[in-house]
Amino acid sequence: MDYVKPSDMVNAMADSGAQRARLSIPDMLIRGMMAGALLGIATSLAITGAVQTGVPFAGAIVFPVGFVMIVALGLELCTGNFAILGVSALSGRCRWAEAGRNWTWGFIGNLIGSVLYAFLLVIALTNAWNVPPAGVAQKIIDIATLKTVGYEPFGAAGLLSSFVKAMLCNWMVCLGVTMSMMSTSTAGKLFGAWLPIFIFFGQGFEHAVVNMFVIPAGMMLGAKVTLSDWWLWNQIPVTLGNLAGGLLFIALPWFLTFRPSVASMRSVGKDAPLSAPAE
């Protein structure tokens, strides 16, 4: 049987968080860039599927391919790490400052990779801005507009809406991280990760790293969205909502109900074993 018991799974999450907390800045940046680009590729694939079939639900079916590749390759996705390092910090296997360091550099790497892929895709879709946006390109413009200035008429309620959608999104994203650790087989890990990601994308929730691709891509294609529109109405509230969702809906409940063993703070040192006894 390749099934991993939930209690063992939570310990594996705590171990993974401790290891990620030790990564060098170049490692976090490079792995973050790769994760951001892969999620951008998956997003453009999902949009292409929805446009070509005329069935938006088709996009939700194919979108998780990006996430499962990130899981399989062990890359740094800041949204998933909100839960992984949250569990690790709660269980004493890394410090909150170290968790924040990983989240910050992972976020920056995700942003660079996402925007870079957006730039390359826009060149491909428009023959380097020589063809007017149509089809997939126009859909990206529409999505970027809806995710930013679409919230503006509602003021504070719009900000709250984007924040709550982000909380719900990362509940599922971090559940995907969890379920990827509930199997020791590659197929089991990938299928476990796919299920919750399908749920969030199919319902149109807000994901910080997806938006790092789709909003800049829309802006490059001509969406009437400014840099301040992007960050004020989406990126900042969505990132905070993703953080809150990962911590409150996954990290905290998992820690409280499964109680991963508390390691010594020495275990966060580069040469100390993860299983160091608590002092």
Residue 273 falls inside a structural domain: no
Given this model, what pLDDT does residue 276 score?
33
Phi then psi for residue 13, to 5 deg, are -60, -45
Given this model, what pLDDT does residue 262 score?
62
Q: From the first residue on, what is the mean pLDDT of each consecutive set of 10 residues in the chain (279 residues)?
A: 88 94 98 98 97 93 95 96 97 96 98 98 98 98 98 98 98 95 90 93 96 98 98 98 98 92 46 34
Given this model, what pLDDT does residue 275 score?
34
Residue 233 falls inside a structural domain: yes
Given this model, what pLDDT does residue 81 score?
98
Tell me the residue range of the domain where 15 lies: 6-260
Residue 174 falls inside a structural domain: yes
Residue 274 falls inside a structural domain: no
Residue 271 falls inside a structural domain: no
- In this structure, the number of other CB atoms found within 10 A of the CB of residue 13 comes to 28
CA distance 215 to 127: 20
Residue 220 falls inside a structural domain: yes
Q: Which residues contact 30 (CB under 8 A, 6 or more apart)?
A: 109
Task: Of 96, 142, 121, give the one whose Cα is nearest residue 39.
Answer: 121
Q: What's the start-to-end Cα distance of the chain, in Å?
A: 35
Task: Of 176, 178, 221, give the one whose Cα is nearest residue 201.
Answer: 176
Residue 276 falls inside a structural domain: no
Task: Of 117, 71, 79, give the one whose Cα is nearest residue 213.
Answer: 117
Given this model, what pLDDT does residue 18 score?
96
Given this model, what pLDDT does residue 272 score?
37
Domain with 140 in it: what CATH number?
1.20.1080.10
- In this structure, the number of other CB atoms found within 10 A of the CB of residue 6 comes to 14
Residue 267 falls inside a structural domain: no
Work out how many domains the chain is built from and give that number.
1
CA angle, corner 111, sides to 89 and 10, nearest 5? 25
Q: What is the pLDDT of residues 1-14, one digit of tens each?
A: 689 999 999 999 99
Given this model, what pLDDT does residue 63 score?
96
